[in-house]
Homo-oligomer: A and B are copies of this chain.
Amino acid sequence: MVISEKNTERNILLIDCLDAKGLVPKATNVIFKHGLNIERNQEFVDQADEHFFMRSEIVGTADRELLLADLAEAMPQDANIRLKEKRKKRIVILATKEYHCLGDLLTRHQFGDLNAEILAVVSNHEHLRDYCEKFGIPYHYVPTQGIGREEHERAVLDTLEAYDFEYLVLAKYMRILSSEFIRHFEHRIVNIHHSFLPAFIGANPYRQAYDRGVKIIGATAHIVTDDLDEGPIIYQDVTPVDHSFSPKEMARAGRDVEKIVLAKALKIVFEDRCFISGNKTIIMR
């Protein structure tokens, strides 16, 4: 039953567990008994892993703790159950020198069109400070000169400590993150990769694309995991190029597709539509 958005609480319920019979009725019975309405429900069983995934958009004032307790009882013991309020996420952005993804996010944010609150920008360069400060976003420069990766990451972690954020967005952050750093924010770091993965891993992707004479270039937004450039893919898109594009012009075309791909991936993540299943994502519409 659809009720006016104004006076009603809205939550997203995410459940995943090993598949078994009757999971959909068991979970939705609990929701129903709590007097809540399911406005959108999507369930998917990954046949390869026999794993069950369900996303429910539920409307009504929920007694969150009791609801979670009842769901935990109804679902299998291994079930991963999360109840998320439908609201803006709190994020911190990591960037380096390139402006396009950051600029796009800050502009959306400024006009209330990003489903998130940007708490701060952290960068290993000063290049983007001026731009960020135009928008009143705190900018933290964490230099890398004269220190090792470990020390630099510690400094970044110290900086992040001040912020109660849910997601870390790598908006063309050009440093490789250690496994240890990533483990602090499991499944909470989103990266935009300068290529249609798995092609052109590594440095100078547009030079590589030019040298290879490709007719299409792409971009990939993914969850960051231990394996560099190998985390679960959230969204990808491409744009056509041709022989008349220099590497510089390819990079320019790439910037447009990168910023849109990152924004679309963040929309998916911030609306709690993205399950992680091993090295893949399940995206619920």
The complex places the Cα of A61 from the Cα of B135 at a distance, in Å, of: 44
CB within 8 A of A29: which of B29, B47, B238, B282?
A: B29
Q: Which residues from B are CB-within-8-Å of A218? A: 196, 216, 238
A41 contacts chain B at the CB level, 8 A cutoff = yes
Q: Which chain B residue lies CB-closest to A216?
A: B236
A43 to chain B, nearest CB (A): 4
In the complex, whether A19 has a CB less than 8 A from a CB of chain B is yes
Whether the pair B260, A233 counts as a contact (CB closer than 8 A) is no
B20, B199, B255: the one within 8 Å of A199 (CB): B199
Kindly report how many copies of this chain are found in the complex they form together.
4
Q: Does A285 contact B (CB under 8 A)?
A: yes
CB neighbours (8 Å) of A238 from chain B are: 196, 216, 218, 238
Min distance, Cβ A51 to any Cβ of chain B, angstroms: 9
- The one of B26, B43, B131, B235 in contact with A42, judged by C-beta atoms closer than 8 angstroms, is B43
Q: Give the Cβ gap from A175 to chain B, nearest Cβ, in Å.
A: 21
Interface of A is mostly: mixed
The residues of B that contact A211 with a CB separation of less than 8 Å are 279
Is there a chain B Cβ closer than 8 Å to A83's Cβ?
A: no
For A20, give its contact among B1, B19, B23, B212 (CB under 8 Å).
Answer: B1
Assembly CA distance A215 to B281 (angstroms) = 10
Chain B residues with CB below 8 A from A104, complex form: 104, 107
The residues of A with any CB-CB pair to B shorter than 8 Å are 1-2, 19-26, 28-29, 31-32, 35, 37-47, 50, 54, 99-100, 103-104, 107, 110-111, 113, 131, 134-135, 196-200, 211-216, 218, 232-238, 240, 242-244, 246, 252, 255-256, 260, 263-264, 277, 279-283, 285
Measured CB to CB, the closest approach of chain B to A171, in angstroms, equals 13
| Chain B minimum-CB-distance residue to A53 | B243
In the complex, what residue of chain B is closest to A35 when comparing beta carbons? B21
* Distance of A237 Cα from B240 Cα, bound (Å): 9
- A21: chain B residues within 8 A (beta carbon): 1, 32, 35, 37
Q: Name 8 interchain pairs, CB-CB below 8 A, sorted by A.
A: A22-B32, A46-B243, A107-B107, A107-B131, A134-B134, A196-B216, A214-B233, A242-B285
Residues of B within 8 Å of A26, CB to CB, are 32
Given A28-B24, A131-B110, A236-B215, decide whether A41 and B42 contact each other with a Cβ distance below 8 A.
yes
